[in-house]
Amino acid sequence: MTFAFVFPGQGSQSVGMMAAYGDSSIIRATFDEASSSLGEDLWAMCSEGPAERLALTVNTQPLMLTAGVAVWRAWLAAGGAKPALMAGHSLGEYSALVAAQALSLADAVKLVRLRAQAMQDAVPAGTGGMAAILGLSADLVAQACADAAQGEEVGAANLNDPNQIVIAGHAGAVARACELAKSLGAKRALPLPVSAPFHSALMRPAAERLRVALDGVDVCTPVIPVINNVDVAKLADPASIRDALVRQAYSPVRWIETVHSMAAQGVSRIVECGPGKVLMGLVKRCAAGPEALALSDSQSLDTVLALTKEELA
């Protein structure tokens, strides 16, 4: 049995989300380490909220990074085996790189705070937008975006599963693309309540700020291969990893291809490492082969641990 770990990004956060893992000293120590680096009490923010505070991009990104790394460390401390592959959805790619020892948690938590602020600053409020297109092929979504652009930017931002593609760009172009997508047969086209058009061409200014920050951070060759979002590739060279993280900010998250790549490399189980079960659902809809599980609380962590130990014995 070959298994992989995947790390969630924005959208999986909730007030009190770490309470599901019980009183874990490993998890608490991870939050203390991240808080010390950032100069802000992430544990209190996570535990007390309010939800509106957690939903702010500049808070969500460091919180979800820390949560994913904390659950990974809890898994290792409990005797969990190291997976053959890793990946993360958008922000989750940073969690994967920390778990794979390519980035330190102290550096990564500051990087994602800067990334979040840069993304927020890149586009004036109300200028950009995002929408989820349901039930339409990637080719037809691309056609709708191309026809809707009219001199503005709009395109695929998250290729989440065969029936769910998120688009992003200028607000007007996104609205036009939604109407065109519905005329082409989309079941639904839902505007998303986000603060910026993530993973769109409008994020290039944010990417340049991120490039400068990454140049000042130590990046190492991952000890576990990480499949990246932008190329669906396993990179070992630190310079290439930096460049891929920069391009990821303004390029689509190719999640369907990531899951297919894992399956093609013999992965039979994909485990979501962190709060929530968003990626577990996406994995199930992307490929029929690999089993999808989640370490969403202490009970599921123990269950997957026992299952993995039994199969690896």
Residue 135: CB atoms within 10 A of its CB come to 16
Active site residues: 90, 199
d(CA 96, CA 80) in angstroms, rounded, equals 16
Beta bridge partners, 165, equal: 133, 159
| Cα–Cα nearest to 94, from 192, 196, 213, 269 | 213
If DSSP states are collapsed to H, E and C, what string results for 149-207? HCCCCEEEEEEEECCEEEEEEEHHHHHHHHHHHHHCCCCEEEECCCCCCCCCHHHHHHH
3-class DSSP assignment, residue 86: strand
Percentages of the chain per state (helix, strand, coil), in multiples of 5: 50, 15, 30
* Beta pairing, strands 269-273 & 164-170: unpaired
- Provide the edge-to-edge strand list for the sheet that holds 291-295: 226-227, 85-88, 3-7, 269-273, 291-295
Which strand (E) or helix (H) includes residue 74? helix 57-77
**Most distant CA atoms of the chain, gap in Å:** 59
- Beta strands per DSSP E along the chain: 3-7, 85-88, 128-134, 154-161, 164-170, 188-191, 226-227, 269-273, 291-295
Residue 215: both structure tokens together: 């140049």
Q: Identify the pLDDT of residue 312.
A: 65
- Compute the distance between CA of residue 192 and CA of residue 179 in angstroms, rounded to an integer: 15
Per-residue pLDDT of the chain (313 residues; tens, 9 = 90+): 699 999 999 888 999 999 999 999 999 999 999 999 999 999 999 999 899 999 889 999 999 999 999 999 999 999 999 999 999 999 999 999 999 999 999 999 999 999 999 999 999 988 999 999 999 999 999 999 999 999 999 999 999 999 999 999 999 999 999 999 999 999 999 999 888 999 999 999 999 999 999 999 999 999 999 999 999 999 999 999 999 999 999 999 999 999 999 999 999 999 999 999 999 999 999 998 899 999 999 999 999 999 987 776 5
The pair phi, psi for residue 297, each rounded to 5°, is: -165, 180
